[in-house]
Amino acid sequence: MPVSSFDLKRILRPNILKLEPYRCARDDYSEGILLDANENSYGPAYQVEISEGANGSEDLHISSGNNDLNLHRYPDPLGRKVKDRILKLRPSVPSVENIFLGVGSDEVIDMLVRITCTPGKDSILITPPTYGMYRVVANINDVNVVKVPLIVEGGEFQLNVDAVIQVAVDDPTIKIIWLCSPGNPTGTYLREEDVRRVLDSAFEGLVVIDEAYVDFVRADKGESYARLVREYPQLLVMQTMSKSFGLAGIRLGVGIGSRELVSYLNNAKAPYNVSTLSLSVATAALSDDGLQKMRGVMRGIQKQRD
């Protein structure tokens, strides 16, 4: 729809608009003598040495080192260091305030459904064959699933754009259109003209593009649609550390969208949803050296594939 006409508040659930978010200790302070979060000042218990004192009492001796990550402290609730590194990976993203971090892309999917779709009333639109979690999350949240299949003839696996737009515009219960590029399981990069047609249509909800495999796309074939976030406030692009970075075990997903949308996602998420361990590994993986290695692995995989 025309950018000037999009109103995010019109598609968010009323309770989300009224939500007073939980304010956690690390929102305000992260350095100094921290007594505001009831954290265990002895540090991780498994590192503590316990010995018997002179009167038979137990004396605690805290081992030095081995706690460089301050695991007895809560993590940064917004993962700011990781977001700073993501800006190097995706320089078209305006700022860290346009980035949401979740426990894998699955949490990003769930949060988007929960803040927009009223259970038992609203719907999402998917384009099968596609990633199965869109449907699963919708089912968990009692949200209807509308299907507009991809054009599959000749192995095209591209959007049936006219049908997607017509169905989405005609059904006011549809809050989100889910697109997957490159497709899972199709591997097809969606054409930019098709994506822009959906974004420029009269549909009043969110358009989400799942880019879990975007780093596998050759530069001459396409690039991340995160660059379109500047143009379209109704767009959110999902990415992940699981695929090209080979870090499925740290469970870190990324949502890139307007500052307003990201702020509502942050308000609704759990206070410390991404762990210190995950943030630490992600920070290292997104370093200059880490990015160079990831791109080298991608070149090798592309060569094997082609």
- If we measure between CA atoms, which residue out of 243, 262, 278 comes closest to residue 69? 278
| pLDDT for the residue numbered 45 | 81
By DSSP bridging, strand 48-52 and strand 58-62 are antiparallel
What pLDDT digit, counting tens, does each position of 225-234 carry? 999 999 999 9
Is 70 exceeded by the pLDDT of residue 177? yes
- If we measure between CA atoms, which residue out of 146, 113, 148, 153 comes closest to residue 127? 148
Are 231 and 3 spatial neighbours (Cβ–Cβ below 8 Å)?
Answer: yes
d(CA 265, CA 124): 18
DSSP-derived 3-state class of residue 123: strand
Are 268 and 111 spatial neighbours (Cβ–Cβ below 8 Å)?
Answer: yes
| pLDDT for the residue numbered 41 | 78
What is the average per-residue pLDDT within 143-149? 98
What is the average per-residue pLDDT within 114-134? 98
Q: Which two tokens stand for residue 108?
A: 């990003």
* Residue 189 CA from chain centroid, whole number: 19
* pTM score over 0.85: yes
Give all strands (DSSP E) within 113-213, no chain letters. 123-126, 144-147, 174-180, 206-210
Dihedral in degrees, nearest 10, Cα atoms 257, 291, 223, 101: -20
Q: Give me the percent of the chain exceeding a pLDDT of 90.
A: 80
What pLDDT digit, counting tens, does each position of 28-43 carry? 666 666 776 788 877 8
DSSP-derived 3-state class of residue 14: helix
| pLDDT for the residue numbered 294 | 97
Are 240 and 216 spatial neighbours (Cβ–Cβ below 8 Å)?
Answer: no
By DSSP bridging, strand 123-126 and strand 58-62 are unpaired
| pLDDT for the residue numbered 176 | 98
DSSP-derived 3-state class of residue 294: helix
Q: Which two tokens stand for residue 12?
A: 């968010």
Are 150 and 127 spatial neighbours (Cβ–Cβ below 8 Å)?
Answer: yes
* Residue 283 CA from chain centroid, whole number: 16
Amino acid at 304: Q
pLDDT band at 54 (very low <50, low <70, confident <90, very high): low
What pLDDT digit, counting tens, does each position of 259-286 carry? 999 999 999 999 999 999 999 999 999 9
What pLDDT digit, counting tens, does each position of 244-264 carry? 999 999 999 999 999 999 999
- If we measure between CA atoms, which residue out of 164, 171, 170 comes closest to residue 149? 164
